[in-house]
Amino acid sequence: MTRIIFVRHGQTEWNLKGKYQGQTDVPLSEEGIAQAHKLAENFPTKRLDAIYSSDLSRAMETARIAAGKFGLEVQEEPAFREVNFGEWEGLSYEEIATRWPKVAGDFFRRPDALSIPGGETFQVLQERAIKRISGIVDASEGQTVAVFAHGAILRTVLCHALHMPLAYLWAIRQSNTAVSIVAYEDGWSSVELMNSTAHLSMQKPQI
Protein backbone atom coordinates (compact mmCIF):
# COMPACT_ATOMS: atom_id res chain seq x y z
CA MET A 1 0.00 0.00 0.00
CA THR A 2 1.05 3.58 -0.69
CA ARG A 3 -0.44 6.41 1.32
CA ILE A 4 -0.43 9.90 -0.20
CA ILE A 5 -1.07 13.00 1.88
CA PHE A 6 -2.42 15.69 -0.43
CA VAL A 7 -2.09 19.31 0.74
CA ARG A 8 -3.39 22.50 -0.81
CA HIS A 9 -1.07 25.51 -0.62
CA GLY A 10 -1.46 28.29 1.95
CA GLN A 11 -3.42 31.47 1.43
CA THR A 12 -2.34 34.07 -1.14
CA GLU A 13 -3.41 37.69 -1.65
CA TRP A 14 -5.28 36.59 -4.77
CA ASN A 15 -7.23 34.08 -2.68
CA LEU A 16 -8.33 36.96 -0.48
CA LYS A 17 -9.30 39.09 -3.48
CA GLY A 18 -11.16 36.25 -5.18
CA LYS A 19 -8.92 36.29 -8.24
CA TYR A 20 -8.44 33.17 -10.34
CA GLN A 21 -4.75 32.24 -10.09
CA GLY A 22 -4.36 29.19 -12.28
CA GLN A 23 -0.74 28.93 -13.39
CA THR A 24 0.10 32.55 -12.54
CA ASP A 25 2.88 32.37 -9.97
CA VAL A 26 1.39 34.13 -6.93
CA PRO A 27 3.35 33.87 -3.62
CA LEU A 28 1.95 33.10 -0.20
CA SER A 29 0.56 35.91 1.91
CA GLU A 30 1.75 36.41 5.50
CA GLU A 31 -1.28 34.43 6.62
CA GLY A 32 -0.42 31.68 4.14
CA ILE A 33 3.10 31.42 5.58
CA ALA A 34 1.63 31.20 9.10
CA GLN A 35 -0.75 28.46 7.95
CA ALA A 36 2.17 26.49 6.49
CA HIS A 37 4.06 26.69 9.78
CA LYS A 38 1.00 25.47 11.69
CA LEU A 39 0.74 22.57 9.25
CA ALA A 40 4.42 21.70 9.81
CA GLU A 41 3.98 21.82 13.58
CA ASN A 42 0.91 19.57 13.48
CA PHE A 43 1.48 17.39 10.43
CA PRO A 44 -0.89 14.39 10.42
CA THR A 45 1.83 11.75 10.23
CA LYS A 46 5.11 11.24 12.08
CA ARG A 47 6.97 9.95 9.03
CA LEU A 48 7.25 10.89 5.38
CA ASP A 49 9.37 9.14 2.79
CA ALA A 50 9.17 11.82 0.07
CA ILE A 51 7.60 15.18 -0.68
CA TYR A 52 6.45 16.31 -4.12
CA SER A 53 5.07 19.71 -5.06
CA SER A 54 3.75 21.75 -7.92
CA ASP A 55 6.57 24.01 -9.06
CA LEU A 56 4.47 27.16 -8.53
CA SER A 57 5.85 29.17 -5.61
CA ARG A 58 2.73 29.12 -3.41
CA ALA A 59 2.81 25.33 -3.35
CA MET A 60 6.61 25.02 -3.17
CA GLU A 61 6.86 27.44 -0.25
CA THR A 62 4.13 25.58 1.66
CA ALA A 63 5.90 22.29 0.95
CA ARG A 64 9.36 23.54 1.96
CA ILE A 65 8.09 24.82 5.30
CA ALA A 66 6.51 21.44 6.04
CA ALA A 67 9.55 19.56 4.69
CA GLY A 68 11.78 21.17 7.29
CA LYS A 69 10.15 18.98 9.93
CA PHE A 70 11.16 15.81 8.10
CA GLY A 71 14.58 16.78 6.74
CA LEU A 72 13.45 16.09 3.18
CA GLU A 73 14.03 17.89 -0.11
CA VAL A 74 10.94 18.91 -2.05
CA GLN A 75 10.77 17.37 -5.51
CA GLU A 76 9.29 19.82 -8.05
CA GLU A 77 6.53 18.40 -10.22
CA PRO A 78 5.15 20.61 -13.03
CA ALA A 79 2.46 17.96 -13.53
CA PHE A 80 0.88 19.13 -10.27
CA ARG A 81 0.43 22.72 -11.40
CA GLU A 82 -3.01 24.25 -11.05
CA VAL A 83 -5.44 24.18 -13.97
CA ASN A 84 -4.54 26.63 -16.71
CA PHE A 85 -7.29 29.25 -16.46
CA GLY A 86 -6.18 30.90 -19.69
CA GLU A 87 -7.85 34.27 -20.22
CA TRP A 88 -9.48 34.07 -16.79
CA GLU A 89 -6.27 34.33 -14.77
CA GLY A 90 -6.12 37.46 -12.64
CA LEU A 91 -9.88 38.04 -12.90
CA SER A 92 -12.64 37.65 -10.32
CA TYR A 93 -15.68 35.47 -10.96
CA GLU A 94 -17.81 38.59 -11.39
CA GLU A 95 -15.47 39.87 -14.10
CA ILE A 96 -15.48 36.48 -15.81
CA ALA A 97 -19.28 36.20 -15.66
CA THR A 98 -19.63 39.65 -17.25
CA ARG A 99 -17.36 38.85 -20.19
CA TRP A 100 -18.21 35.14 -20.68
CA PRO A 101 -21.69 34.65 -19.12
CA LYS A 102 -22.51 31.26 -20.67
CA VAL A 103 -19.09 29.73 -20.11
CA ALA A 104 -18.95 31.08 -16.56
CA GLY A 105 -22.31 29.46 -15.88
CA ASP A 106 -20.86 26.09 -16.86
CA PHE A 107 -18.01 26.56 -14.37
CA PHE A 108 -20.13 25.45 -11.42
CA ARG A 109 -23.08 23.72 -13.14
CA ARG A 110 -21.16 21.60 -15.67
CA PRO A 111 -17.43 21.62 -14.89
CA ASP A 112 -17.08 18.37 -16.86
CA ALA A 113 -18.25 20.23 -19.98
CA LEU A 114 -16.39 23.49 -19.32
CA SER A 115 -14.07 24.93 -21.96
CA ILE A 116 -12.02 27.78 -20.48
CA PRO A 117 -10.95 30.33 -23.13
CA GLY A 118 -7.26 29.74 -23.75
CA GLY A 119 -7.07 27.23 -20.87
CA GLU A 120 -7.40 23.57 -19.95
CA THR A 121 -10.42 21.35 -19.42
CA PHE A 122 -10.83 19.58 -16.09
CA GLN A 123 -10.52 16.25 -17.94
CA VAL A 124 -7.04 17.20 -19.19
CA LEU A 125 -6.13 18.45 -15.73
CA GLN A 126 -7.21 15.19 -14.11
CA GLU A 127 -5.38 13.09 -16.68
CA ARG A 128 -2.02 14.82 -16.12
CA ALA A 129 -2.43 14.61 -12.36
CA ILE A 130 -3.41 10.94 -12.25
CA LYS A 131 -0.67 9.93 -14.68
CA ARG A 132 1.99 11.34 -12.33
CA ILE A 133 0.30 10.05 -9.19
CA SER A 134 0.18 6.56 -10.68
CA GLY A 135 3.93 6.73 -11.25
CA ILE A 136 4.53 7.83 -7.66
CA VAL A 137 2.30 5.06 -6.31
CA ASP A 138 4.15 2.43 -8.36
CA ALA A 139 7.52 3.67 -7.07
CA SER A 140 6.47 4.06 -3.43
CA GLU A 141 5.10 0.73 -2.25
CA GLY A 142 4.90 0.66 1.54
CA GLN A 143 5.68 4.36 1.82
CA THR A 144 3.89 7.52 2.90
CA VAL A 145 4.49 10.53 0.68
CA ALA A 146 3.10 14.05 0.49
CA VAL A 147 1.91 15.96 -2.58
CA PHE A 148 1.46 19.74 -2.34
CA ALA A 149 -0.72 21.28 -5.02
CA HIS A 150 -3.77 23.45 -5.67
CA GLY A 151 -7.51 23.53 -5.15
CA ALA A 152 -8.82 22.57 -8.57
CA ILE A 153 -6.26 19.87 -9.36
CA LEU A 154 -6.72 18.28 -5.94
CA ARG A 155 -10.48 18.20 -6.47
CA THR A 156 -9.96 16.24 -9.69
CA VAL A 157 -7.61 13.84 -7.87
CA LEU A 158 -10.16 13.27 -5.11
CA CYS A 159 -12.94 12.75 -7.66
CA HIS A 160 -10.80 10.01 -9.19
CA ALA A 161 -10.02 8.48 -5.79
CA LEU A 162 -13.73 8.48 -4.91
CA HIS A 163 -14.69 7.07 -8.33
CA MET A 164 -16.86 10.16 -8.74
CA PRO A 165 -17.67 11.95 -12.02
CA LEU A 166 -16.06 15.32 -12.63
CA ALA A 167 -19.56 16.80 -12.87
CA TYR A 168 -19.52 16.82 -9.05
CA LEU A 169 -16.09 18.45 -8.77
CA TRP A 170 -17.31 21.39 -6.69
CA ALA A 171 -18.96 19.14 -4.12
CA ILE A 172 -15.45 18.72 -2.70
CA ARG A 173 -14.10 21.59 -0.61
CA GLN A 174 -10.36 22.31 -0.51
CA SER A 175 -9.39 25.01 1.99
CA ASN A 176 -5.96 26.61 2.21
CA THR A 177 -3.45 24.05 3.64
CA ALA A 178 -6.26 21.47 3.80
CA VAL A 179 -5.04 17.89 4.21
CA SER A 180 -6.58 14.93 2.39
CA ILE A 181 -5.23 11.37 2.65
CA VAL A 182 -5.68 8.59 0.11
CA ALA A 183 -4.43 5.01 0.40
CA TYR A 184 -3.62 3.18 -2.86
CA GLU A 185 -3.40 -0.61 -3.00
CA ASP A 186 -3.80 -3.18 -5.79
CA GLY A 187 -5.24 -0.63 -8.21
CA TRP A 188 -7.82 0.61 -5.71
CA SER A 189 -8.03 3.86 -3.76
CA SER A 190 -9.49 4.56 -0.33
CA VAL A 191 -10.00 8.09 0.98
CA GLU A 192 -9.03 8.22 4.66
CA LEU A 193 -9.29 11.97 5.31
CA MET A 194 -10.53 14.94 3.32
CA ASN A 195 -10.17 18.73 3.67
CA SER A 196 -8.87 18.63 7.23
CA THR A 197 -7.68 21.95 8.64
CA ALA A 198 -7.36 20.64 12.20
CA HIS A 199 -3.72 21.80 12.25
CA LEU A 200 -4.86 25.43 12.08
CA SER A 201 -6.53 25.08 15.46
CA MET A 202 -3.55 23.08 16.80
CA GLN A 203 -5.45 19.80 16.81
CA LYS A 204 -3.78 16.80 15.24
CA PRO A 205 -6.09 14.54 13.18
CA GLN A 206 -5.78 10.85 13.97
CA ILE A 207 -5.11 8.40 11.13
The C-alpha atoms of residue 50 and residue 31 are separated, in whole angstroms, by 26
Three-state DSSP class for 41? helix
Q: Please state the φ and ψ torsions of residue 70, each to the nearest 5 degrees.
A: -105, -5
pLDDT of residue 207: 47
Three-state DSSP class for 190? strand
In 3D space, the residue among 165, 171, 83, 159 whose CA is nearest the CA of residue 124 turns out to be: 83
The C-alpha atoms of residue 116 and residue 100 are separated, in whole angstroms, by 10
- Candidate CATH numbers 3.30.1510.10, 3.40.50.2300, 3.40.50.1240, 2.40.50.1040; the one for domain 2-181: 3.40.50.1240
pLDDT of residue 106: 87
Handedness of CA 122, 150, 195, 161 (dihedral sign): positive
pLDDT of residue 65: 97
DSSP annotation of 159: H
The C-alpha atoms of residue 27 and residue 55 are separated, in whole angstroms, by 12
DSSP annotation of 19: B
pLDDT of residue 4: 98
Residues in the chain: 207
Three-state DSSP class for 196? strand
> 142: buried, middle or exposed (CB in 10 Å: 19+, 13-18, 0-12)?
exposed
Domain boundaries in the chain? 2-181
pLDDT of residue 202: 67
pLDDT of residue 103: 87
Catalytic residues: 9, 82
Three-state DSSP class for 51? strand
Q: What is the pLDDT along the chain (207 residues), one digit of tens a residue?
A: 999 999 999 999 999 999 999 999 999 999 999 999 999 999 999 999 999 999 999 999 999 999 999 999 999 999 999 999 999 999 999 999 999 998 888 888 999 999 899 999 999 999 999 999 999 999 999 999 999 999 999 999 999 999 999 999 999 999 999 999 999 999 899 999 999 999 998 654 444
